[in-house]
């Protein structure tokens, strides 16, 4: 892995990754390439990703108590905020397959040897902090609408949310807040983790590249975010089992979308 990491250019200067313009065709191509990566050894990938639906089911049961029912939806939707962390191993598999290396599933664990691991950990902590902040905001929105009293049951909670003005307010402000968190995570991580695996850059440089890529391609990046969000929602519907398929496909596709957004290293070593 270390051979693919570049810190400075040929003149000994720290160089920023170069952002490229992309379009809808690039998104479609990234999804096709991600599907090809998944199809190469699907049994291995599904086995690797079984931990994700299992974790999702665990979260659902953990939050099934009456006091935690209001957090069930924020927990499910918040999974997208930490999704880039869960897909780290998938980026590594796609990177190895792209370079013609052995892409067996156990190589997903090779990310722990990345020289950029301190930066990866730093960005992961940032995402976990955003996830916790989202849960706190969601809880406060619920409390402002219904007070501190816990719902009597899941059915009464759903009835209150779907049939009362307070419930409609909860839906409106909750989704608006969730949208803001999702935009922040998308803009700051759309290429961050793949870039950190590909090149030995600092966390700030990778996040900056993601923000610049988003500003340069607001439409395509927004569409990418919608596709990711929609597939994650679909994956959670059949008791999270669909995540075992959608997460690896999206993980591999994200690697290829990164390749579209960030220019390759030139022959003279510049980024």
Is the confidence at residue 43, as pLDDT, over 70?
A: no
Q: What is the mean pLDDT of residues 241-253?
A: 82
49-53, 71-75, 139-143: range with lowest mean pLDDT? 49-53
Percent of the chain exceeding pLDDT 70 equals 77
The burial of 239, by beta-carbon neighbours within 10 Å (0-12 exposed, 13-18 middle, 19 or more buried), is given as exposed
Q: What is the mean pLDDT of residues 132-138?
A: 91
Q: What is the mean pLDDT of residues 235-239?
A: 69
Q: Give the per-residue pLDDT at 101.
A: 74
Tell me, yes or no, if the pTM score tops 0.85. Answer: no
Q: What is the mean pLDDT of residues 82-101?
A: 82
With both helix axes pointing from N to C terminus, report the angle between 42-49 and 24-40 in degrees, rounded to the nearest 10.
Answer: 100
Tokens of 238: 């059949």
Q: What is the mean pLDDT of residues 223-240?
A: 81
Q: What integer best gives the mean pLDDT of the chain?
A: 80
With both helix axes pointing from N to C terminus, report the angle between 72-86 and 117-146 in degrees, rounded to the nearest 10.
Answer: 170
| Top-ranked range on mean pLDDT: pick from 94-108, 163-177, 239-253 | 163-177
Torsion on CA atoms 186, 191, 194, 196, rounded to nearest 10? -100
Is the confidence at residue 17, as pLDDT, over 70?
A: yes
Q: Give the per-residue pLDDT at 24.
A: 95
56-60, 98-102, 137-141, 191-195: range with lowest mean pLDDT? 56-60
Label residue 4 by pLDDT band (50, 70, 90). very low
CB 247 within 8 A of CB 45: no
Higher pLDDT, 7 or 161: 161
With both helix axes pointing from N to C terminus, report the angle between 165-189 and 154-163 in degrees, rounded to the nearest 10.
Answer: 90
CB 190 within 8 A of CB 223: no
Q: How many other CB atoms are there within 10 angstroms of residue 78's CB atom?
A: 23
Q: What is the mean pLDDT of residues 31-52?
A: 73
Q: Give the per-residue pLDDT at 104.
A: 67
Is the confidence at residue 214, as pLDDT, over 90?
A: yes
Q: Give the per-residue pLDDT at 233.
A: 78
Helical spans, DSSP H, in the chain: 24-40, 42-49, 51-62, 72-86, 88-98, 117-146, 154-163, 165-189, 192-198, 203-216, 218-236, 243-261
pLDDT tens for each residue of 94-109 = 888 887 776 666 666 6
Q: Give the per-residue pLDDT at 192.
A: 94
Label residue 38 by pLDDT band (50, 70, 90). confident
């Amino acid at each position: 892995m270390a051979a693919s990491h570049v810190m400075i250019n040929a003149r000994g200067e720290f160089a920023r990754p170069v952002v490229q313009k992309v379009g809808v065709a690039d998104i479609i191509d990234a999804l096709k390439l991600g599907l090809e990566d998944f199809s190469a050894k699907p049994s291995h990938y599904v086995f690797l990703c079984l931990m994700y639906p299992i974790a999702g089911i665990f979260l659902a049961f953990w939050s099934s108590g009456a006091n935690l029912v209001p957090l069930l939806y924020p927990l499910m939707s918040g999974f997208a905020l930490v999704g880039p962390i869960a897909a780290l191993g998938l980026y590594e598999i796609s990177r190895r397959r792209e370079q013609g290396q052995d892409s067996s599933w156990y190589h997903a664990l090779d990310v722990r040897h990345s020289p950029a691991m301190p930066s990866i950990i730093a960005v992961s902590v940032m995402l976990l902090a955003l996830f916790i902040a989202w849960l706190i905001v969601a809880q406060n929105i619920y409390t402002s609408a219904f007070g501190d009293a816990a719902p009597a049951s899941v059915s009464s909670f759903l009835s209150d949310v779907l049939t009362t003005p307070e419930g409609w307010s909860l839906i409106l402000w909750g989704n608006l807040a969730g949208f803001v968190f999702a935009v922040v995570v998308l803009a700051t991580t759309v290429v961050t983790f793949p870039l950190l695996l590909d090149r030995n850059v600092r966390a700030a440089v990778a996040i900056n590249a993601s923000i610049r890529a988003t500003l340069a391609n607001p439409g395509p990046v927004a569409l990418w975010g919608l596709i990711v969000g929609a597939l994650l929602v679909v994956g959670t519907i059949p008791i999270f089992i669909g995540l075992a398929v959608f997460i690896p496909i999206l993980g591999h596709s994200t690697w290829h979308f990164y390749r579209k957004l960030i220019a390759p290293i030139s022959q003279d070593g510049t980024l």
